[in-house]
Amino acid sequence: MRISVLLTLTGAAVLGVAAGAGPRVAQGAIAPAGSRGAAPRRHVPRIRGRFGTSSNWAGYAVDGSNVTDVKGKWIVPAVTLGSGCPDSYSATWLGIDGDNSNTVEQCGTDQDFINGQPVYYAWYEMYPKYPVNLSTSRYPVQPGDRIEAEVKYTGRGLFQLTLNNVGKWSFSTVQKLQQAKRTSAEWIEEAPWAGGVLPLARFSDPVGGSPTVRFTNCQAALGGAGLIGLSSLSSPEPITMVGGTNASPTVKADPGGISGDAFSIEWLNCQ
């Protein structure tokens, strides 16, 4: 584990969490639900703590300017009941912005454990706009699926978001977010937000069973350059997800080191 000491959270707050009506969903999508009432689940900007930590993100981020493309792959993890957290949630995604700004242009998969059952689906979100959950009949997601994802800026505030479930389906959409700053690239496992940070689902490798999810082939284009592998990018920042209280903090998820443009994130606690 990269962090072996307990960490103290700062009193950070989510910037610009949107309010309003329920989320926009694709036909056949899963209706948002959770342990915090009817509040829709969101994938929000990083909530910062001290020493490279966050209360909702784990993974890697690279800050810079003129970010135009982010790519990567992962295998959809399985989720099971975590001790002390009957309902819990996790999102695996990549995208642009959110590490140092109030927008996030992102796409990924959710792996949740709700009412005693695992729930899997794909989605995209142009935060602060609400997420769009893809139809589970047309775009099904299961543990072990191989996901290839890309978020690409095409100019004039437009982004192309692509998800490819290898051998099963492909999805692509072009969305506009004029206020996007394009100042970070990231590969993240997130505890989603619904009136607060939700418990993190216990995710695991669907083959080996270890409590990890692994990103591979991570690449980003920053500063007008073409795509560069994560291991060759300047100063990628590891982000550890922490929880608990100021008096008794816990590590929820922790990224390992980068090797060959790949890294794993280990689940440790749900909250």
pLDDT of residue 50: 85
Domain contains 164: yes
Q: How many domains does the chain have?
A: 1
Residue 169 belongs to what domain range? 53-267
pLDDT of residue 23: 35
Domain contains 194: yes
pLDDT of residue 39: 61
d(CA 99, CA 186): 8
Count other C-beta atoms under 10 Å from residue 119's C-beta. 17
Domain contains 229: yes
**Domain holding 61: CATH number?**
2.60.120.700
| Cβ–Cβ under 8 Å, residues 107 and 174 | no
pLDDT of residue 222: 97
pLDDT of residue 24: 36
pLDDT of residue 256: 98
pLDDT of residue 98: 98
pLDDT of residue 11: 36
Q: What is the pTM of this model?
A: 0.88
Query: Nearest to residue 120, comparing CAs of 131, 128, 112?
Result: 112
Tokens found for residue 251: 């590590």
Domain contains 199: yes
pLDDT of residue 84: 82
pLDDT of residue 257: 98
Domain contains 144: yes
Residues of the chain predicted below pLDDT 50: 1-38
pLDDT in tens, 209-229: 999 999 999 999 999 999 999
Instruction: Give the DSSP letter string of 56-113.
Output: SEEEEEEE-S---EEEEEEEPPEEEPBTTBSSBB-EEEEEES-SSSS-EEEEEEEEEE
pLDDT of residue 216: 98
| Mean pLDDT for the chain overall | 88
pLDDT of residue 159: 98
